[in-house]
Chains A and B, each alone.
Chain A
Amino acid sequence: MAMLKASRRVKLFTVLPALLFLVLLSVLPLANLLALSFAKVTWAEGSATWTWEGLANYRALAEDALFKAGIVNTLILVVSATTLQVGLGLGLALICSRLGRSAKAYRTLFLLPILVPGIIIGAIWKLMYNTQFGVINQLLGLVGLGPFDWLGSSTLALASVIAVDVWHWTPFSFLLLLAAVEALPRDVFEAAQIDGAGSWRTFRRIVLPLLWPAIFTTFVFRAIIAFKVFDEVYLLTGGGPGTSTQVISFTIYQRFFVQDSAGYGAAMSIFVMFLVALVIGVAMTSQKARSR
């Protein structure tokens, strides 16, 4: 086989830029962050002094109500929003694939929320949720309901944020699942229909099992993005009222940048990364165990 005999210089040159980004802007800053997490930073005359504090920052995590609320709310959001998105996305994907060409225009339309900045989604919904002039309360008022303080009441706020996330990202689940539905072998449907299987039975026994890997992948993908949620919360509620919509990214941001406690914020970041690594590790080993 004639392959390009790349000289060592070419080989190195092609990978070097990526390696520089990897080392200088990922590994080094993270190492710095790790070091920072064991320190307390104090500022005097524009220069920082690090005082080593050992594990003090990490111990403080356990006491931090904001951090706990952040973790809990993030988990609630990830699980509920992702489940709804995958369910709705799957429904829409099945409908679109069944209607075929006549559903083409809808597919284009459904892409829009994926492409618009999260901050703008937040801005749109902040206006729509408004108690005074928001369209949601106006519409509910027509049927004699409300008005509700969607973002200001601690019982409704998290649900309101979740609703926005579902609106924002259902199209993405739809897109991934549509690709999977379209890739299903047609003859399987036909064979099932000839055998006299009804639609529901065909779906339960044939379509769903075939789609299962795609559903799983979509769920994981969405969960990863949902875990990082920041933009909408920042704009809609700022974590409030109280701590009712505090999410983990937002807590880190507040501790690190708003309160300017870099050491503590760093510890929180490292802990979250550790948590992510743990989840991946568990997922990967269970995947390996299953495929064996």
Chain B
Amino acid sequence: MSVSSRRFNSRRTVNLVLHGALILAAVLILGPFLWIAAASLKTQIVLLMGHVTFKPVTLNYAEVLFGNTSTFVRNFLNSVIVASISTAVALGVGFLAGYSLLRMQWPRGVVHLFLLWSVVFNLVPPVTLAGAWYEVFRAIGLANSLVALILAHTTLHLPMALWLLSSFLREIPRELEEAAVVDGAGFVRLLRRVVVPIMMPGLVSTGILIFIFSWNEFPVALALTNNHSATVPVGIAKFAQENEIKYTQMAAASVLSAIPALLVLIFFQRFIVKGLTAGAVK
């Protein structure tokens, strides 16, 4: 065997081993999701008996979605409301502030104050803030309301919005804005016609991330809501606390709550990677 073909062969072996490692990682990551999906299609008895083969049933989903005692649909709607509104507000507020701080000649102290806030805020465990918000919202009569949770989630994710949008803004060339100003565009027109269109990918990335984070957020939602205003994670946590855990229904509810994550993964994968890495690298 010639030297070059031997090298070629060893290269192929190495690549095969590496592919094997990736497949193993993929199985480890996907396995639990498949297992819970399977569990959601079993009856409680079949699950408890530990049978591997089973006849799939949809009764868990029926119970979670349409059962008399199930709060899942309400939780789901609450989550949709809280996540969409808080994402929209955080994006709007963060975009305006980010643009202003970068482009409108603020004193450096002001800019640094905001950036410092957005960094430090991310370091503090949300539970510590939950207590603070709980007291405030109770004092102003907003205890256990969706408005309170929307405000809390907006505050929680605004620093991230500010941080990510500023880093995307820094990438766009000023010349376009200058040209628009020379053409006599006012502030609103400048934003609508020039800045927002160029920023669109950044806005989408940031928006998707905030939506997902708000959808997933647990400790603050747990602290600030009651049965009526609970979001999906709070609802699912309830399953685990009942005396007799309805495992299969818990599995079905879990699968349903992962829907936004799956949709994002399928349709907006590119944006997610952009947002997650921009947040860390810059």
Contacts and interface: CB of A to CB of B under 8 A. Distances in A.
A26 B130 CA distance: 11
A128 interface: yes
Among B30, B158, B219, find the residue whose CB has the most chain A CB atoms closer than 10 A: B219
Contact of A124 (B36, B99, B216, B269): B36
B216 A28 contact: no
Contact of A29 (B33, B133, B158, B237): B133
B124 interface: yes
A262 interface: yes
Contacts of A138: 50, 52
Nearest to B260: A115
Interface string A1-21: 111101000110111011101
Interface stretch (B61-69, B176-184, B196-204): B176-184
A158 interface: no
Given A132-B50, A230-B125, A253-B223, A120 B257 contact: yes
B280 A6 contact: no
B127 A33 contact: no
Contacts of A277: 120
Interface in A84-129: 91-92, 95-96, 98-99, 102-103, 106, 108-120, 122-128
Contact of A17 (B32, B93, B120, B232): B93
A127 B251 contact: yes
Contacts of A155: none
A15 to B, nearest CB: 5
A229 to B, nearest CB: 9
A135 interface: yes
Q: Per DSSP, are chain B's interface residues mostly helix, strand or loop, or mixed?
A: helix
A266 interface: yes
Interface in B2-22: 15, 18-19, 21-22
Interface in B195-228: 212, 215-216, 218-219, 222-223
Contacts of A33: 128, 131-132, 135
A26 B78 CA distance: 24
B96 A15 contact: yes
Nearest to A227: B125
Given A99-B22, A257-B223, A115 B236 contact: no
B232 A117 contact: yes
B125 A10 contact: no
Among A119, A138, A272, A280, find the residue whose CB has the most chain B CB atoms closer than 10 A: A119
A6 B272 contact: no
A25 interface: yes
A145 B47 CA distance: 21
Interface stretch (A52-60, A172-180, A203-211): A172-180
6 contacts: A22-B117, A26-B117, A124-B36, A252-B127, A256-B127, A266-B131
